[in-house]
Structure 1
Amino acid sequence: MDSINVLKGYGKVNPEHNLEVQAQKIPHPPKRPIISTLVISAIVGLTLVIGLMLVALIHESTTESPSLSTSAESTIKTVCNVTRYPEPCFTSISSINSSPKPDLVSILKLSLQASISELSHLSSVLKTMNSDAAIRDCRDQVDEALSQLNDSVSAMVMGEGLTEAKVKDVQTWISSAVTDQETCLDGLEEMGSTSVDDVKKRMKKSMEFTSNSLAIVANFRAILDKLSHIPLH
């Protein structure tokens, strides 16, 4: 009987022992190091911060620049609205303006510079045309107009600034420049020059620009009041 019991004991399986063996065989997932997790979190956080900073800078640049451009555009349009040719006035001045907030004096200078540039080009063209008496007289008138406009610009950059007396002088010089160009065309027509239509076409821009400059200086005080600038001395 004892031997039978002993043999029966060998056939039994110990449940606890079996579970321990199975537990040893099941592989455990590797544990992620805590330091690696912290490093990854820090990189992600830093990336987000840099991204937000870039978005803020882009937003700032796109919101500030248009406001400055709008300010200059509004000022130039206000000045050009007193002229006979407001569109050419605005286009010519805006194309050479570099200030985000131009004042009336700088706008008048730019208008004069546009006039001088056109007249200089016209003078060069006249020198290449048939050198008859009418063309020579016209060229002399254009050169005289250039001299008047250059005197106007020089007066604006010298001394104590643009005083009431200087405004009157500048207005006189610009008015003479307009008259000189008209005299050129009148002379060509009176002498029956075949170049009158060609010169008239080439003089169109310089006449418009000079007329605009004259209108600006003639309405100087009224424009100052609109723009709320410091009064003249």
Structure 2
Amino acid sequence: MSQLTALSFLLLLCIFCFAGTAKSTTVGKSSTSLGYIKTSCSATRYPTLCVKSLSIYANKIQQNPQQLAEAALTVSLNKARSAAAYVSKMTRVKGLKGRQRQAVKDCVDNMGDTVDRLSRSMKEMGQTGRSSDFSWHMSNIQTWVSAALTDENTCSDGFAGHGMDGNVKTAIRARILNVAQVTSNALALINRFASKHRA
């Protein structure tokens, strides 16, 4: 083996070794992050959904409670936007009458408020690390996310009663329930972040 060939072989060997180390480090970090997410989610009302919805953010979250709370808010906002668009489309469904049509219209308003409050919460979360007034920012976020959860439940409650049965009710309530569950989880993780920071 010539000196040049030997040098090339050693260089390739070093590259493979470095790549393997980098990969194992990434896997290690991801595994640690998932463990952190699972532990944190155990404090929520819907832990399985919590882990499932936040796992894709594991590399960003690491073991950072603020990143965890932000990721949970992101999930909630994305779901709320999707549900709001869906409910808005349902207002154009033919055959809606009386209470059912009114319930859909009310739900459009509720989901609009939800999206607005969660959007404001996301912006406010970005201020928590840049301001000395952490408690004030967190109080705003907790209030808005709690209000968003109330809006979601109000929308769902609007379809209560046998006179409201039907495909529209089933479809809307299923989507709103999912939004309410991820919002509930987000609020729990936000409260956890707030209490740890203040401790």
Q: Give the shorter-chain TM-score range.
A: 0.7 to 0.9
Counting only pairs closer than 5 Å after superposition, residues 78-227 of structure 1 correspond to structure 2 as 78-99=39-60, 101-130=62-91, 132-158=101-127, 160=131, 163-190=134-161, 192-193=163-164, 194=166, 195-221=168-194, 224=196
SS in 1 for 2:159: helix
Contact 1:134-1:191 at 8 Å conserved across structures:
no
Q: TM (normalized to structure 2)?
A: 0.81
Moved more, 107-116 or 158-167: 158-167
AA matched with 1:215: A
- Number of residue pairs matched by the alignment: 187
Any idea what the Cα deviations from partners look like across 1:83-121, whole Å, max 9, x if unmatched?
111122122122245526351112111111111111111
* CA distance in structure 2 between the partners assigned to 1:145 and 1:106 by the alignment: 21
For structure 1, the 5+ residue unaligned runs are 1-39, 225-230
Partner of 2:35: 74
Partner of 1:53: 14
Contact 2:110-2:154 at 8 Å conserved across structures:
yes
SS in 1 for 2:60: coil
Any idea what the Cα deviations from partners look like across 1:5-37, whole Å, max 9, x if unmatched?
xxxxxxxxxxxxxxxxxxxxxxxxxxxxxxxxx
For structure 2, the 5+ residue unaligned runs are 93-100
AA matched with 1:143: G
Any idea what the Cα deviations from partners look like across 1:39-92, whole Å, max 9, x if unmatched?
x44245335523532342233123211122123222222321211111221221
Contact 1:85-1:208 at 8 Å conserved across structures:
yes
Moved more, 109-118 or 71-80: 71-80
* CA distance in structure 2 between the partners assigned to 1:126 and 1:115 by the alignment: 16
AA matched with 2:140: D
Q: TM (normalized to structure 1)?
A: 0.70
Contact 1:155-1:166 at 8 Å conserved across structures:
yes
* CA distance in structure 2 between the partners assigned to 1:172 and 1:82 by the alignment: 19
- Which structure has more relative contact order (CA 8 Å, sep 6+)? It is 2
User: Which structure has greater helix proportion?
Assistant: 2
* CA distance in structure 2 between the partners assigned to 1:104 and 1:206 by the alignment: 21
Partner of 1:23: none
* CA distance in structure 2 between the partners assigned to 1:138 and 1:163 by the alignment: 33
